[in-house]
């Protein structure tokens, strides 16, 4: 059975033989929810390949923890330190149970040297992450409800999965993390969430959210009712 790499992830872009070879260089690690894979400022230089589970990437900016992105099965984490040898620039935290493969910087470099096309695929992934970050900054020109709608549509695309009620976001995100991503206060975020709940667009629980009406969420965010690629 083929591994369940997320579409567009680094391992999904490699050939099956290349992905298997790279994983053979690694050592498996398992993490429970809330455990740290990598910590901002650490001097380690290995690369983590996500075999199973979701990971959130955060930075501390002016004393506030800011959610920078979400990583899926098949993604790499810690690639900048792995490439440059510098200190970690972000913290990676497990959202639920996570299995990763730790590949040393030396082995990762050898793999990229052996397969130059893998370097191009890695660059493509990093470029898409940069584009995602730039789009989030561009959203700051919109009102809070539009910012949140656009963010939720994107998060649903990345890690949503179908349930009888709607599309459940597969990563536990706090209101504080969502607020920092759209640059509003928690009080403002809570008001927007109440409004979306009242309109029947979303349903929330403790660190959980289900999108009940994706078309309405897309319309609020200024998009169209297009299909969303989901990961199981």
Are residues 39 and 127 located together in one domain of the fold? yes
Residue 144 confidence (pLDDT): 93
Are residues 108 and 44 located together in one domain of the fold? yes
Whether residue 231 has pLDDT greater than 80: no
Whether residue 185 has pLDDT greater than 50: yes
Chain-wide mean pLDDT for the chain? 87
Are residues 126 and 195 located together in one domain of the fold? no
Q: What is the pLDDT averaged over residues 136-160?
A: 85
Residue 113 CB partners (closer than 8 Å, separation 6+): none
Are residues 114 and 154 located together in one domain of the fold? no
Are residues 123 and 20 located together in one domain of the fold? yes
User: What is the DSSP code string of 103-166?
Assistant: E-HHHHHHHHHH-HHHHHHHHHHHHHHHHHHHHHHHGGGS-HHHHHHHHHHHHHHHHEEE-SSS
SS3 188: helix
Question: Which of 106, 137, 168 corresponds to the end of one domain?
Answer: 137
Residue 232 confidence (pLDDT): 30
Token pair 């579409």 is found at: 7
CA atoms within 13 A of residue 9's CA, in its CB half-sphere:
25
Q: Which residues pair with 59 in a beta bridge?
A: 66
Spatial distance between the Cα atoms of 88 and 77, rounded to a whole number of angstroms? 10
The total of structural domains in the chain comes to: 2
Tokens of 209: 């959210």
Domain assignment present for residue 226? The answer is no
| Per-residue pLDDT tens digits for 198-214 | 999 999 988 789 999 99
Domain assignment present for residue 230? The answer is no
Q: What is the pLDDT averaged over residues 158-180?
A: 83
Percent of the chain with pLDDT over 70: 94
Q: 227 pLDDT band (50/70/90 cuts)?
A: very low
Domain assignment present for residue 3? The answer is no
Strand ranges for the chain from DSSP E? 27-31, 36-38, 47-61, 64-71, 76-77, 91-103, 160-162, 167-169, 202-205, 208-211
Q: Looking at residue 161, which CATH number applies to its domain? A: 1.10.10.10
Residue 166 confidence (pLDDT): 92
Q: Looking at residue 77, which CATH number applies to its domain? A: 2.60.120.10
What are the C-alpha distances in Å from 65 to residues 42, 144, 177, 204?
Answer: 16, 19, 8, 22
Are residues 124 and 35 located together in one domain of the fold? yes
Question: Which of 137, 163, 181 corresponds to the end of one domain?
Answer: 137
Are residues 120 and 216 located together in one domain of the fold? no
Domain assignment present for residue 2? The answer is no
Whether residue 224 has pLDDT greater than 50: no
Query: What is the pTM (predicted TM-score) of this model?
Result: 0.76
Question: Which of 81, 105, 137 corresponds to the end of one domain?
Answer: 137
Are residues 152 and 90 located together in one domain of the fold? no
Between 25 and 6, the higher pLDDT residue: 25
Domain that residue 114 falls in: 10-137
Between 133 and 118, the higher pLDDT residue: 118
Domain assignment present for residue 227? The answer is no
Q: What is the pLDDT averaged over residues 48-57?
A: 92
Residue 202 confidence (pLDDT): 95
- Given a contact cutoff of 8 angstroms between Cβ atoms, the answer to whether 29 and 100 are in contact is yes
Q: 228 pLDDT band (50/70/90 cuts)?
A: very low
Are residues 126 and 185 located together in one domain of the fold? no
Whether residue 1 has pLDDT greater than 60: no
Residue 3 confidence (pLDDT): 66
Whether residue 126 has pLDDT greater than 90: yes
Are residues 130 and 153 located together in one domain of the fold? no
């Amino acid at each position: 059975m083929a591994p369940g790499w997320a579409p567009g992830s680094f391992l999904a872009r490699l050939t099956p033989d290349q992905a298997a070879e790279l994983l053979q260089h690694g050592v498996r690690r398992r993490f429970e929810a809330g455990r740290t894979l990598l910590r901002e400022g650490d001097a380690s230089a290995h690369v983590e390949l996500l075999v199973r589970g979701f990971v959130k990437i955060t930075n501390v900016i002016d004393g506030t923890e800011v959610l920078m992105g979400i990583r899926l099965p098949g993604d790499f984490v810690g690639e900048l330190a792995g490439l440059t040898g510098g200190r970690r620039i972000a913290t990676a935290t497990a959202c639920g149970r996570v299995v990763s493969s730790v590949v040393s910087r030396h082995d990762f470099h050898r793999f990229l040297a052996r397969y130059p096309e893998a370097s191009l695929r890695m660059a493509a992934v990093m470029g898409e992450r940069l584009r995602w970050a730039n789009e989030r900054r561009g959203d700051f020109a919109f009102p809070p409800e539009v910012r949140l709608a656009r963010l939720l549509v994107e998060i649903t695309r990345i890690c949503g999965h179908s349930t009888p009620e709607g599309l459940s976001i597969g990563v536990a995100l706090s209101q504080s993390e969502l607020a920092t991503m759209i640059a509003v206060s928690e009080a403002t975020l809570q008001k927007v969430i109440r409004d979306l709940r009242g309109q029947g667009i979303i349903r929330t629980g403790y660190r959980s959210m289900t999108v009940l009406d994706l078309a309405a969420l897309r319309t609020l965010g200024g998009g169209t009712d297009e299909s969303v690629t989901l990961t199981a």
